[in-house]
Amino acid sequence: KNTMRIDIPKQVEFIISTLEEYNYEAYIVGGCVRDSILNKTPNDWDITTNARAKQVEEIFQSRGFKVTETGIKHGTVTIMINNVGYEATTYRIDGKYLDGRHPDKVEFTTSLKEDLSRRDFTINAMAYNHTEGVVDYFKGIKDLENKIIRCVGDPLKRFSEDALRMMRAVRFSAQLGFQIEDNTENAIRSLSSNIKFVSMERIKGEFDKILLSDNADRIHSLNDYGLMTNFLPEYDICEATSQNNPYHIFDVATHLICSVENIEKNLYLRLTMLLHDICKPQCKTTDELGIDHFYIHGYKSAEKAREILKRMKYDNKTIEKVYTLIKYHDYELYSNKSIKKLLNKIGEELFVDLLKVKEADIKAQSPKFYEERHIKLLEIKEKLNNILQERQCFSLKDLAINGRDLTELGLAQGKEIGKILNELLEMVMENPELNTKEELINIIKKNGINHIF
């Protein structure tokens, strides 16, 4: 018996002791036990019991609680306490998995050990209550101490039951900084192509967690195991593409991962970094001096990123942000005018993101040039702040004159007006002090009213 004590929220404690009053067994199980042992705050508290779902429902309804049948055929009900739902599930063994995803049928069992033996990894196969302490049939605590991800039982069997578990193994190794044990790793290598039977939404869910973890470099492992080729095949060739160019010290893939690790944990920013040079291999040319160039790779990578993210079922908002940031990640910015022109195109919010992208990018390049490039970025940032603080005009809506004013001045309507306004915007971006109504009317009058510019 393990005497370790875990702090359980009092509502969860109440559910367990209530079931025990009726002579049932009940434990917290899975991730919340793992996280508690690691001193992390659990996301949710799952309860497992030998009581059948109907019995759990009757017990808590008789005590005046609302119980919903969230997954009654899988033995799960949700008990509502103070508007928070707690899931309780009957011990079960999964029947055969016919499609590598869903158990064909679920059988209930009265044995906690049988229930725990069907779970994916040892660190997720522990249960706990205050009476018994930690129930750890598969040496999960030892694997937590040694920082190991290991399947419960035969890994080939576990991964054949649900191929997503292969992604989960890499995801836990990324989130926890653990190593995947050899047999488990070999099983992933041999079954990796089965991931194609899993829905893209489920794959994406795990992929995002890896990308947002402290060890995003585990994306290398995804590729190495043969998982990535089934949902992001474009990455592989990046590993084989060197960048013989004074600005770079890494191959394309290493540069991508390094740049991901240099940016904050925000999904669209990390996707941007992962994909910002994804078409470099296709754009690579080598000049007579043996220097590699990657002309128009920004535009090409943006197009390819859009295609990849659509295929991976990301939402349109994310896709368009990533597309825009990649498209302009190499855009040269010097003057105030060039900054305003880009502000006009992409808006303030994305412009601020773009500077983060540029910073993460240069940090993943040759350290020789970092200092000067970094200083340049700081100068752009300062210019941007001045433009925004002084509310300098960079779009038609901030121009001191509009189409209606021009019509009142007796100017022809239609195309002509748009042309004039854009010409005035150009001038104002160059010289912010011209942005007053009088000034702009003067300019128009000076230039002759009909054939302006």
Look at strands 284-286 and 84-90 and give their pairing.
unpaired
Supply the pLDDT for residue 104: 61
Nearest-5° angle of CA 71, CA 72, CA 74?
70
Q: Does residue 163 sit in helix, strand or coil?
A: coil
The DSSP bridge partners found for residue 88 are 47, 77
CA–CA separation, 305 and 303 (whole Å): 5
Residue type, 69: E
CA–CA separation, 33 and 116 (whole Å): 13
3-class DSSP string for 402-427: CHHHHHHCCCCCCHHHHHHHHHHHHH
Supply the pLDDT for residue 441: 87
Instruction: Give me the half-sphere count of Cα atoms (radius 13 Å) on the Cβ side of residue 364.
Output: 25
Instruction: With CA atoms as reference, report the closest residue to 92 among 78, 106, 113, 103.
Output: 106
Contact 155, 187 (CB under 8 A): yes
CA torsion, ordered 380, 383, 389, 394, to nearest 10 deg: -90
Q: Does residue 77 sit in helix, strand or coil?
A: strand
Please give the C-alpha separations between residue 244 and each of 135, 142, 361, 368, 386, in angstroms, as whole numbers.
55, 46, 17, 15, 38
Supply the pLDDT for residue 283: 82
Supply the pLDDT for residue 449: 54
Which tokens hold the place of 36?
């508690």
CA–CA separation, 450 and 411 (whole Å): 7
Q: Hey, how many other C-beta atoms are within 10 angstroms of the C-beta on 83? A: 6
Supply the pLDDT for residue 1: 61
CA–CA separation, 224 and 217 (whole Å): 12
Nearest-5° angle of CA 61, CA 67, CA 73?
115
Supply the pLDDT for residue 106: 79
pLDDT digits (tens, 9 = 90+) for 138-149: 999 999 999 999
Instruction: With CA atoms as reference, report the closest residue to 221 among 180, 191, 272, 187.
Output: 180
Supply the pLDDT for residue 99: 54
| First and final C-alpha spacing in the chain | 88
pLDDT digits (tens, 9 = 90+) for 361-408: 999 999 999 999 999 999 999 999 999 999 898 989 899 998 888 888
Supply the pLDDT for residue 244: 85
User: With a cut of 70, which residues of the chain have pLDDT below it?
Assistant: 1, 95-105, 412-413, 448-453
Sole residue written with tokens 């160059």: 430
Instruction: With CA atoms as reference, report the closest residue to 416 among 407, 425, 429.
Output: 407
Supply the pLDDT for residue 262: 97
